[in-house]
Homo-oligomer: A and B are copies of this chain.
Amino acid sequence: MNQIKIYDIAGAAGVSLATVSRVLNHPEKVKEATRNRVLKIIREKGYKPNANARGLASRRSTSVAIVIPSISRASVAEMIQGIDESAKKYGYTIRLFISDESSDPVDMWSEVIASSVDGILFMNDETNEETYKEIKNTPVPVVFVNNISNSDQFGSVSIDYEECAYKITKEMIDRGNKKILFIDTEHKYSVNALKRKGYNKAMMEANLPKRVLFSSGNIDINELDFTSEIEKDVPEVVLAVRDSMAISFMNVASKKGIKVPDELQVIGFQNTRYAVLSNPKLTCIETPIYEIGSKSMSYLTEMMKDENSRDKKAANILIDYNVVWRGSTK
């Protein structure tokens, strides 16, 4: 019942605690025979060092914080899976912090730091100057997940949102489409702004009129917005910043008797599980969110083990994406 301590192992193995500790932390410093004896007992008793004590004494907690916004989105779960896979590999444990409007972000950030994690994975889709100011004095490495950092101090891992929006728009233009509608969220997200920028660029280059609809996160409002947009003029192609919006648009159009993909083609971003549950199935730019998670964690690991990482410029790592063509496009 009572948790086993390092003393118990030391006693059973006939060595000092220092030696047990070394077996765990610097095994190469312990004679093989001793090491094996100690390891055997550790295994037998199922000893696990107390994380708090270890963290306090070593000033390294082998734990990292994931900081995510409250908005529950399809992507978060998968991202965490990716992080976890990588964290397991490197022996890190995860503390989860969910920021929301009600809690003071600065307060939250200092709570994260007080939890003495060795590094922070920060997922925040509204990164602005304020944000950078708040987190400037963070004593441990920070990696932005699925977002691009504008500061040399913080690394980031994401896909090139601007480029992929540009390319897919251009592709649809090259296929002869002219009326291309871009659906963005009302709420401003830095990532969506990048997508819009890519779309804008492609449309401008082709001398086509930009057509952007900012809609809500709420499905019922979406449907109203989409209905009036369709009544105004049926686009040939819709590119939406979220799968769910793309599907919702498709459903509204279907109900009005518009044939997808013959009269209207629809493309989403992310390739969530929604994408294969629509009828027809949705063509998407696939955001490899799992990979973004695991890569973020492994990059963070690098930064954490590099003593000099504070003096180096942190990198913005871009992950490959690809387009999954399905029934919602020709």
Contact = CB atoms under 8 A, between A and B. Distances in A.
Contact of A110 (B46, B70, B96, B98): B46
A96 B65 CA distance: 10
Contacts of A78: 72
Contacts of A137: 1
A254 interface: yes
A80 B52 contact: no
A233 to B, nearest CB: 22
Given A95-B96, A274-B274, A52 B49 contact: no
Question: How many protomers of this protein does the assembly include?
Answer: 2
Contacts of A255: 279
Interface in A90-123: 93-98, 103, 106, 110-111, 113-116
Contact of A116 (B50, B95, B98, B114): B50
Interface string A57-77: 000010100100010111011
17 contacts: A3-B113, A48-B110, A48-B113, A50-B56, A51-B114, A52-B55, A52-B61, A70-B84, A72-B81, A77-B77, A80-B98, A94-B95, A96-B96, A248-B277, A251-B277, A255-B279, A278-B278
Interface of A: 1-3, 46, 48-53, 55-56, 61, 63, 66, 70, 72-74, 76-78, 80-81, 84, 88, 93-98, 103, 106, 110-111, 113-116, 137, 139, 219, 244, 247-248, 251, 254-255, 273-274, 276-279
List 5 A-B pairs, minimum CB-CB distance, nearest first: A48-B114, A52-B55, A52-B56, A94-B96, A52-B52
